[in-house]
Structure 1
Amino acid sequence: MADTKTKATVGIVNDEVQTENTTPAVEEIELDAEETKNQFRIHEEDFIQGLIDAAGYASEETQHIEIIRDKKLYFAFDIRPLAEDEYDRCKKKWTKYVRNKQFGMKLPEETNNVKYRASLIHTATVEADRDKLWDNKKVWEALRAKGLQIMNGLDVIEYCLKAGEKDKVLECIDALSGYDSNLEEVAKN
């Protein structure tokens, strides 16, 4: 078996260069297969802790959203990132399917984009704010008294957020969820 060399990036701590506000210097070194395995074994606990920390993104990362019109704060709420299955559930719930007799299966016909977008915002809103704003029965009753048809929290979102505001909130949700527009930067990381 040929002795292959692989590149590994290793953080080298140099006490003379490093200060408390800088990160360790990174140096590219050539390692053979056995040395690479040893490096992975040495840093296995760091990798495991990194995976555990990365998995907690949904509960730890939030962004504060304020709805301001004419320099007046109307309301504010926090959003969290969505997992891919949450995006998928929202999409499936608001997509109409029809049975195709030729293929013998259901195919998507049309998605109710208004409900889908409201569903994403509702799902991404942290639970405490969702209960205070979108799912608050007092809010529902007050909006019904104004003649609006409110059946659930999605209706509150539809009536209380303008289309452009929904777009901006959805952009924030996508950014928190890792859907960056700069794919080159994501690929480098």
Structure 2
Amino acid sequence: MADFKKSVSLMSNAAEAAETEIDNTEYTEEEAKSVIKANEETFIQGLIDAVGFGNTETQRIEIVRGGRLFFAFRIHPLNADDYNRCREKHTKYVRNKQLGMKLPENTDSTKYRSEIIYQATVKEDREKLWDNKTIWEALRDRDVQIMGPLDVIEYSLLAGEKDRVLDAIDSLSGFDTNLEEVAKN
């Protein structure tokens, strides 16, 4: 049996991209145009590949406590629309009579964070864990109030575990928290 030490371990299932060398050559405007023209097909293919990248990239999340693996699931990246839908779904809006429009009053951050985890979970794992009615009934038998999949996430993950899972989702979705790396680019 494996010896698990971390409460949440993150493992990438996607093949790592080969290290590419960056060309730092200074070009005149004419030379730059000719380089771009010569590499146009490569740029187009790269753009097409980048669009499909989020559909195949996954990362395994293991929930481990006291050296025991409790469960594992896989996550995939989210796009900006996914994050926005999660935020809107769990934000209460009020009508401002002076401006004549609805304005956000507050966001239920607990539900919002659980919704992000739910949406980022690979469909097969979502069905096995968060949407599983057998799990819902077993938790209800333990007097845990389960109204839906977000409640399963809320009760099964500790606050720190949720933070680490959310960090993994953000990282997989392209949000880089390494300021040193961002400064280089």
- CA–CA distance in 1 between the matches of 2:133 and 2:127? 9
Q: 1:131-170 to 2 correspondence within 5 Å?
A: 131-170=127-166
Q: 1:65-80 to 2 correspondence within 5 Å?
A: 65-80=61-76
Deviations 1:112-153 (A, max 9, x none): 111000000000011111111001111111111111121211
Within the alignment, does 1:30 sit opposite 2:27 as a pair? yes
Q: 1:1-189 to 2 correspondence within 5 Å?
A: 23=20, 26-33=23-30, 35-186=31-182, 188-189=184-185
- CA–CA distance in 2 between the matches of 1:30 and 1:22? 23
- CA–CA distance in 1 between the matches of 2:166 and 2:87? 14
TM-score by length of 2: 0.84
Between 1 and 2, higher relative CO (CA 8 Å, sep ≥ 6) is seen in 2
Structure 1 residue 111, shift from structure 2 partner: 0.6
Structure 1 residue 40, shift from structure 2 partner: 1.4
The one-letter code sitting in structure 1 at the alignment partner of 2:51 is: A
Identity %: 59
Moved more, 111-120 or 145-154: 145-154
The one-letter code sitting in structure 2 at the alignment partner of 1:101 is: K
Query: Which of structures 1 and 2 has the bigger CA Rg?
Result: 1
Runs (4+) of structure 1 moved beyond 4 Å? 21-25
**1:57 and 1:81 in contact (8 A); partners too:** no
Structure 1 residue 105, shift from structure 2 partner: 0.6
Structure 1 residue 47, shift from structure 2 partner: 0.2
Where in structure 1 are there 5+ consecutive unaligned residues?
1-20
Structure 1 residue 29, shift from structure 2 partner: 3.6
RMSD: 1.8
Structure 1 residue 24, shift from structure 2 partner: 5.4
Distance 1:22 1:111, change over 3 A: closer
**1:98 and 1:109 in contact (8 A); partners too:** yes
**1:100 and 1:106 in contact (8 A); partners too:** yes
- CA–CA distance in 1 between the matches of 2:163 and 2:74? 16
Where in structure 2 are there 5+ consecutive unaligned residues?
1-17
TM-score by length of 1: 0.82
The one-letter code sitting in structure 2 at the alignment partner of 1:135 is: D
The SS at the match of 2:174 is coil
**1:62 and 1:78 in contact (8 A); partners too:** yes
